[in-house]
Structure 1
C-alpha cells in the first residue's frame, strides 16, 4: 500500500486552507484570517510546514486509526502566528475558505491512482474544539449533529479554480467567467468553499472549523486537514 501511495501521490504538491474571508451581502469584508500555526510562503517555506496527511505516509498498513488526531500538531491549539491572525466574522456571515488546487484539478485526468477524481471536502464546525479531538471522533459527532456540525460537503474541485500551468483544463478555465482575482493568487484562481456560520453562536465566542479533504486513492487512504477558528464579533 505504501508503494502505491508514493507512486501516485508524489507528483503534485498537496493543499490546505491558506486564507479565510468573511463574506457579507456577496462581498468580502475585513481582513483575511489564517489557519492555526500558519507559516507564510517565504523563501524558506516548505509544504510540510502546513500539510497534515492522514494516515502518515510511512504507516503500514495504510489505515486511519481511532487515535489519529484531527489537527496537525502545530494546529492543535489556537496558536496564531505573527502576521496570520484568526478571522473575525459576525453570526451567520458566510466564510470563504481558500486553497490552491496544485494540479489536483487541472492535471487530475493524468492521476489514475485517484481514479482521476479530485476528492471531496467536508467542513465541520464546533464550539468545543480540544487538542485531543480525533478525526474519527469529530466525524462521528458531526454525523449525529451533537458537539460538531457538518457545514458543507462538496467536491475539492469547485468548478472554477485553476493553476496557470498551461494545461488544456487551465486554459479553458482562464477563458471562462470567474470571480475577481485577489492579489495573493497571482495568475492562478484558488479554489474556494463557502460555509455559513450558525445562528446559535454569539459575539465573543470562538468557533472552530475543521476542513477535511478526502483524497482516497485506488487501494489506499489519503486525507488532509486544516484547523482554523473564527472570532465571532458583533
Structure 2
C-alpha cells in the first residue's frame, strides 16, 4: 500500500513538472508573508478558481487574454469555488501572488519580439469593483495616488514578470542555471518547478471586514517589426481577478521589525529584493533591475516604467501587520510588538460628487 501511494505521488509530481511551455500564466495562489520573509497561514485563491487536482481541469479554465473586459467571465463577481477560499490578511500586510512562468522566462526564444523582462505585471486595487470592469478603464489609467480615471482604484505595484529566480524545469540554459542556483525539493504544489511571485503590500488603510479586490495584469506585448508574422506587433495582456478578506481592526497597528532570513527554504520564501522593497518603501512598489537575472548572450532585462501620476497622497503599503500563525515546518523569528492607535481613513480617494 505504501509503495502504491509513493508511486502515485511520484506520478503527480511528474505531471506538475512537465507543463506545456505554450501555456500562459495566471495567479495560482496568494499567501501572506511574515516579517522574516516566510509564507505563513492558509493560502488564498482567485475568483472562480479551478484546482489542478480536479478531474475536469484544463488550463483554459484559468487562462484569460483580456481585450475588452478586465476579468474572465468566471471572475466577474466576488465568487469563490469549493476548496479555493479567499486569502485572509490584515491591512498593510505583505502578500505574494504566485504564478508559473511556463517557459516564458526560461525559453525566451520561443516567441520573437517579447520584452527582455518577460513583460511587466501591474497590480491594481479597489474597494469598489464592478461587474463588467473594462480593461481600458483600469490598465494604465488608475494611478498610484488614486486620481486616475474614475478614481475607484489605485495602482498598487509593478514588477517584472520574471522575478529573477523562478523557473520551469526544461533543457534551456536559463532553466539549468537557475536549477543549480536555486535548488528546492519538489512538492505537490509546484512539482520540481519553482514558481514566480509578485510581492506587494495591501494598503495600510484598507477597510477591515470587507473584501479588497486585486487585478493582476500581465502586459506581454510583441514589438513592432520583430516577428515577420506580426509586422505591426501585437498587444497581449493576461489577467487574474481576485479578492482578499481584510481582517483586523484598522485602529490598531502592530509594528514589527522586519528582517529577512537568508538561505531559507525556497518553497515558502518571498523574493528578497521585492520583500526589502516592500518593507523599506513609503509608497507602492515598482520594478527594479535584479542582478540575479542572467540571460545567456543577452543584455540585462529591461524594466518598464509605470505611468506617472500627480503628487497626492496614496494608499501606503505598511510595515505593520499582525503576525499570522506559521505554516507547519516554517521557521519564524520573534519580534517586539508596539501598539499605537490611529484614526481610520479611506482606502483610496473617491470621485468628487
CA distance in 2, matches of 1:133, 1:102: 27
Partner residue, 1:3:
none
- Report Cα offsets for 1:13-32 as digits up to 9, x if no partner: 10000000011212222111
**Conserved 8 A contact 1:206-1:231:** yes
Alignment counterpart, residue 50 of structure 1, candidates 62, 79, 83? 62
Partner residue, 1:6:
none
Alignment counterpart, residue 152 of structure 1, candidates 157, 162, 180? 157
CA distance in 1, matches of 2:33, 2:186: 15
**Conserved 8 A contact 1:205-1:231:** yes
Partner residue, 1:142:
143
Partner residue, 1:124:
124
1:178 shift after superposition: 6.3
Q: Determine whether 1:174 maps to 2:186.
A: no
Partner residue, 2:33:
23
1:130 shift after superposition: 0.7
Q: Determine whether 1:40 maps to 2:41.
A: no
**Conserved 8 A contact 1:108-1:117:** no
CA distance in 1, matches of 2:109, 2:183: 22
Q: Determine whether 1:232 maps to 2:237.
A: no
Q: Secondary structure at the match of 2:74?
A: helix
CA distance in 2, matches of 1:201, 1:69: 25
- Relative to structure 1, the CA distance from residue 20 to residue 215 in structure 2 (aligned partners, 3 Å threshold; closer, same or farther) is same
Alignment counterpart, residue 203 of structure 1, candidates 200, 205, 208? 208
- Relative to structure 1, the CA distance from residue 197 to residue 180 in structure 2 (aligned partners, 3 Å threshold; closer, same or farther) is farther
**Conserved 8 A contact 1:34-1:84:** yes
Partner residue, 1:65:
none
Query: Structure 1: which 5+ residue stretches go unaligned?
Result: 1-9, 56-67
Q: TM-score, normalised by structure 1?
A: 0.85
- Report Cα offsets for 1:11-69 as digits up to 9, x if no partner: 611000000001121222211100100011134321110111023xxxxxxxxxxxx21
CA distance in 1, matches of 2:240, 2:201: 17
- Relative to structure 1, the CA distance from residue 143 to residue 90 in structure 2 (aligned partners, 3 Å threshold; closer, same or farther) is closer
Alignment counterpart, residue 213 of structure 1, candidates 197, 218, 224? 218
Q: Secondary structure at the match of 2:242?
A: strand
Partner residue, 1:58:
none
**Conserved 8 A contact 2:117-2:161:** no
Structure 1 residue ranges, 4+ long, deviating more than 2 angstroms after superposition:
113-117, 141-144, 177-183
CA distance in 1, matches of 2:104, 2:65: 15
Partner residue, 1:91:
91
- Relative to structure 1, the CA distance from residue 220 to residue 174 in structure 2 (aligned partners, 3 Å threshold; closer, same or farther) is same
Q: Secondary structure at the match of 2:138?
A: helix
Q: What is the aligned-residue RMSD (CA, Å)?
A: 2.0
CA distance in 2, matches of 1:183, 1:90: 28
1:114 shift after superposition: 2.2
Q: Secondary structure at the match of 1:141?
A: coil
Q: Secondary structure at the match of 2:181?
A: coil
User: Which protein shows a greater Rg?
Assistant: 2
Q: Secondary structure at the match of 1:114?
A: coil
1:83 shift after superposition: 0.6
CA distance in 2, matches of 1:217, 1:103: 16
